[in-house]
Each structure stands twice: as C-alpha cells, then as structure tokens.
Amino acid sequence: MSIIGLSIDPSPDLMLEINSLTRRDHRPLYAALQVEPWRFDGSRLHIHGLRKDAYVATGNSEQFPG
C-alpha cells in the first residue's frame, strides 16, 4: 500500500465509500482533498458536492456529468 504525497501527487477527483463499518466522519478529509464523495449504502448510491465548505446531496456528479 502506498501513501499519497499531496505535495507531489494530484488529489483524486472522486472518492467512493462503500458501506464503511466505521462510523467515522470522513467529510473533513474529503473537503480538504476537494473530492466529490460517492457513498454506496448497500442499496443506493449517494453523491455529494461541496458547497461553501459543506457537503450536500446532489443526486448527480459534477465530475462525471451525463
């Protein structure tokens, strides 16, 4: 497993979280990376966009439109 070095590696555009067993809130990390998190809860895909430093459900992707 390698570690992303943000000083040399670009941050990802998309973060996919699949029904994580941890209840840790990863949104501050996602916001720092400026990524669009998608979360699959086992039955439904939830897409969130960053708006004024807070994530809101958007229902569609800004990174991958269409």
Q: What is the pLDDT of residues 3-26, one digit of tens each?
A: 767 678 777 777 777 766 767 777
Eight-class DSSP state of 32: H
Q: What is the pLDDT of residues 20-64, one digit of tens each?
A: 676 777 788 888 888 888 888 888 888 988 888 788 899 888 888
For residue 1, what pLDDT band results from cuts at 50, 70 and 90? low
pLDDT at 55: 86
In the numeric block, which tokens belong to residue 29? 């990390």
Instruction: Domain ranges for the chain, please list them.
Output: 14-57
What is the spatial distance between Cα 53 and Cα 26, in angstroms, rounded to a whole number?
14
pTM: 0.64
Mean pLDDT of the chain: 79
What is the spatial distance between Cα 46 and Cα 35, in angstroms, rounded to a whole number?
14
